[in-house]
Chains A and B, each alone.
Chain A
Amino acid sequence: MMNKSRTLNIALAFMAVIWVSPFAWLLSTAVDPIATGQLRFPKELGLNNFAQALTGESLLQLWNSLFIAGGTATLTLVVASGSAYALSRLKIPGRNAFLWSLVLLRMLPPTGILVPIYFAAQSVGLLNNVGIIVALTVLNLPFAMLLLKNFFDTVPVELEEAAHVEGASLATILRRVVLPMSKAGLAVVWFFTFTSAWNEFLFPLLFSRTEDAFPMSMGLYSAFGRNGSIQYGFLAAFSIIYATPAVAVYFLLRRNMNTGFAGVGVKG
């Protein structure tokens, strides 16, 4: 018994070390201006690495990432909510089959459709960050539409009729009734699209022609081995900054899901 639990403890501790050590490495290296890449307590403490990761080219990459992720999330949300609302309210035969087949297309690895998308973007002169936004939006739309349609389906049509009788236009009904009641769904779509676009590597690799258009994912990749030696401290700080939105999104989403779930009808 005693023996067994000791083995178990050792095994668990081992696992914990494996789990924690990359993060420990990342943190200790990021705050160590003279980091060498070894896992150790920092010799000195300082935020130089972060300062470096937030200036010049790196800062530009942060802006590019925010532009691509924010643009993709917002464009996806606007287009998907419009079409999902139409799909939810108009009784188009076969609309569910239609949506699911779009989702199936999305399940294919994007690599498979990379070539046609590349040539399409090239022919309309969109081999830049706007092109990335458009391409990622197209890829994200089916799932976003499916999700939002299901949220809109839970908004009772009587609420819209009540608003209509009170004099609300369709735009007003959407803005004041349907969208506020689907807040949770809109938040999920926006945040998930944001994260996936933020993490995107493949499309920037192909579409970003100039270095000042690189998002952080590309910047991180190209920073390896730059200037002859690897700047571990800078890379660690850069990675932490790169990871921040994902963590932020997690907390924002949690808060939104807890407070904003409005898809409940009012019955006696």
Chain B
Amino acid sequence: MADLALHSVEKTFGALKVIKGIDLDIRNGEFIVFVGPSGCGKSTLLRMIAGLENVSGGTVEIGGKVMNNTPAPQRGIAMVFQSYALYPHMSVRENMSFGLELSKTPKAKIQERVDIAAGILQLEPYLDRSPRELSGGQRQRVAIGRAIVREPEVFLFDEPLSNLDAALRGQTRVEIARLHARLGTTMIYVTHDQVEAMTLADRIVVLNGGEVAQIGTPLELYRNPANAFVAGFIGGQQMNFLTPEQAARALPDTALPDGTETVGVRPEHLQQVTGGGIEGTIDVVEEFGEYALYHITLDGDALPSVTFKSSATGVGAMGDRIHLRADPQHIHAFDAGGLALSVPTRH
């Protein structure tokens, strides 16, 4: 078990600067999620921690020691790859024993650890099968099992669920959360899926273009996004962005901070009113059962569409007119550079 620290970490590929100076302190036992759009440098950052990429600038420390030039096997990490990277010519048991065998662990000990891991991951019936004969979810569990048996200080996951179908993804997400609760080991988890980030993380690191957009707990990011990028990225549905004029109509009695360029309101923080507010026509209704999403085209040209989330009945159908207001306790104001401004009415 170990703390992990990044100081001004940079990575360049040729002339391309992919990671632009990242500082991060990870406490022992934390579950950290790197989230961001595809190509923002998540995998590169993870691979630098793993020792699979050279660090171009700054330092990577694990357990208080600078690890920049330490080869991967000596960093006390285990990595789960997106493609699982199982050895196709070895059985499940051999896949899980391989690393221990290399470190000259006694046979009995290997057997014991593999059996324990197989128990945790419900892989006992498959130990003698080849990875080829397993389903995607089972392969995923073998890849995790291979990491567990090595009893690493830090687990690294690179988009481990992205090859699974939606149902299995939800299920495996819970299994990973359970695993973290059980082992208490530091975990760093890369994903482009904000749902995985929100549900798994102790703290989320939102990356954008090789830089940290914000670091915080899931609720901090949801409630107080530091900028428009984080506001738009985190949350079940994409946040609505309104112009100050639209905001003035949606929030008649609320003064916005000076310099407000856009106002963010989440779909769940809009309210239907009988008159006034912002006005538009419902284009599409997505019915989810416990709630519905109404996609609305507003009158006027600027930022013409918003999404409204409601569990009420009788909101309207496609083609109906609708009036909306925003809940002043849950609005976000951003300046011209996209940075968040403090809003006095917000909780």
- Which residues of the partner chain B approach A177 to less than 8 Å between Cβ atoms? 87
* B192, chain A: closest CB distance, angstroms: 16
Residue in A161, A168, A266 whose CB lies within 8 Å of B52? A161
Q: Is A181 an interface position by the 8 A CB rule? A: yes
Q: Is B150 an interface position by the 8 A CB rule? A: yes
A interface footprint on B61-72 (CB within 8 Å = 1, 0 otherwise): 000000000001
- Is the pair B83, A181 in contact by a Cβ cutoff of 8 Å? no
- Is the pair A180, B72 in contact by a Cβ cutoff of 8 Å? no
Q: Is B174 an interface position by the 8 A CB rule? A: no
Q: Give the total of A residues in contact with B, Cβ under 8 Å.
A: 23
Q: How far is the CA of A234 from the CA of B323 in the complex (A)?
A: 104
A interface footprint on B241-256 (CB within 8 Å = 1, 0 otherwise): 0000000000000000
- Is the pair B73, A266 in contact by a Cβ cutoff of 8 Å? no
Which of B25-33, B98-106, B112-120 is the contact stretch? Answer: B98-106
Q: Is A83 an interface position by the 8 A CB rule? A: no
A interface footprint on B204-223 (CB within 8 Å = 1, 0 otherwise): 00000000000000000000
- Is the pair B79, A266 in contact by a Cβ cutoff of 8 Å? no
Specify which of B99, B146, B150, B164 lies most central, judged by the most chain A CB atoms within 10 Å of its CB: B99
- Is the pair B131, A266 in contact by a Cβ cutoff of 8 Å? yes
- Which residues of the partner chain A approach B131 to less than 8 Å between Cβ atoms? 266
Q: Is A44 an interface position by the 8 A CB rule? A: no
Q: Is A156 an interface position by the 8 A CB rule? A: yes
- Is the pair A158, B85 in contact by a Cβ cutoff of 8 Å? yes
Q: Is B139 an interface position by the 8 A CB rule? A: yes
Q: Is A162 an interface position by the 8 A CB rule? A: yes
* B175, chain A: closest CB distance, angstroms: 16
Could you tell me which residues of chain B, from 39 to 68, have a CB within 8 Å of some CB in chain A?
50-52
B52 and chain A: residue at smallest CB distance:
A161
Q: Is A163 an interface position by the 8 A CB rule? A: yes
* A14, chain B: closest CB distance, angstroms: 50
Given known contacts A172-B102, A264-B132, A266-B132, A166 and B150 CB-to-CB distance under 8 angstroms:
yes
Q: How far is the CA of A168 from the CA of B140 in the complex (A)?
A: 22
Q: Is B270 an interface position by the 8 A CB rule? A: no
Q: Is A164 an interface position by the 8 A CB rule? A: yes
Specify which of A180, A262, A266 lies most central, judged by the most chain B CB atoms within 10 Å of its CB: A266
Residue in B50, B79, B88, B132 whose CB lies within 8 Å of A181? B88
B161 and chain A: residue at smallest CB distance:
A268
Given known contacts A156-B83, A158-B81, A161-B81, A266 and B88 CB-to-CB distance under 8 angstroms:
yes
B interface footprint on A162-192 (CB within 8 Å = 1, 0 otherwise): 1111111000100011001101000000000
Residue in B73, B139, B140 whose CB lies within 8 Å of A165? B73
* B242, chain A: closest CB distance, angstroms: 40
Q: How far is the CA of A166 from the CA of B136 in the complex (A)?
A: 22
- Is the pair B102, A180 in contact by a Cβ cutoff of 8 Å? no
Please name 8 pairs of A and B residues whose Cβ atoms are closer than 8 Å in the assembled complex, sorted by A.
Answer: A158-B81, A162-B81, A166-B98, A167-B73, A265-B88, A267-B83, A267-B163, A268-B140
| B positions within 8 Å CB-CB of A | 50-52, 72-73, 77-79, 81, 83-89, 98-99, 102-103, 131-132, 136, 139-140, 146, 150, 163-164
| A positions within 8 Å CB-CB of B | 156, 158-159, 161-168, 172, 176-177, 180-181, 183, 262, 264-268
The 3 closest A-B pairs by CB, nearest first: A268-B163, A166-B99, A268-B136
